[in-house]
Amino acid sequence: MSQFSTRNGAPWVPVYLTAINGETCIGCGRCFKVCSREVMHLYGLDEDGNNLGIVTEDDDDDFDGELNRKIMVLDNGGACIGCGACARVCPKACQTHVPATELVE
């Protein structure tokens, strides 16, 4: 029996989000929309790749014309519960997930 299980006792291993590749992320926001834990946020980048800050859904600001592209950033990894919803909706497979059994401290 695994050390993790579902409510009914079935074996289950959480798979935690540990990284997002900013080179391949297209900033679509699908992963953010399915995550109920605020594990990641959409950030704006200028043309040099400098972080301009969090882009909010209702924010029409383009950072004074500096916004070049958006990427998702893992900024609260400790809140991840390992459900894998973000991986299932990512069209670019730019996320790294690690099973809880491999994250033993």
Q: What is the pLDDT of residues 42-52, one digit of tens each?
A: 999 999 999 99
Chain-wide mean pLDDT for the chain? 91
**CATH of 15-102 among 1.10.3720.10, 3.30.70.20, 3.90.1300.10, 3.10.350.10:** 3.30.70.20
Q: Sketch the domain layout of the chain as residue ranges.
A: 15-102
State the DSSP code for 34: H
Mean of the pLDDT values across residues 23-36?
95
Pairwise CA distance, residues 57 & 88, whole Å:
21
Determine how many CB atoms are found less than 10 A away from the CB of residue 10. Answer: 9
Between the alpha carbon of residue 57 and those of residues 42, 65, 92, the distances in Å are: 9, 17, 21
Nearest to 72 by CA among 36, 34, 19, 13: 19
Mean of the pLDDT values across residues 94-104?
92
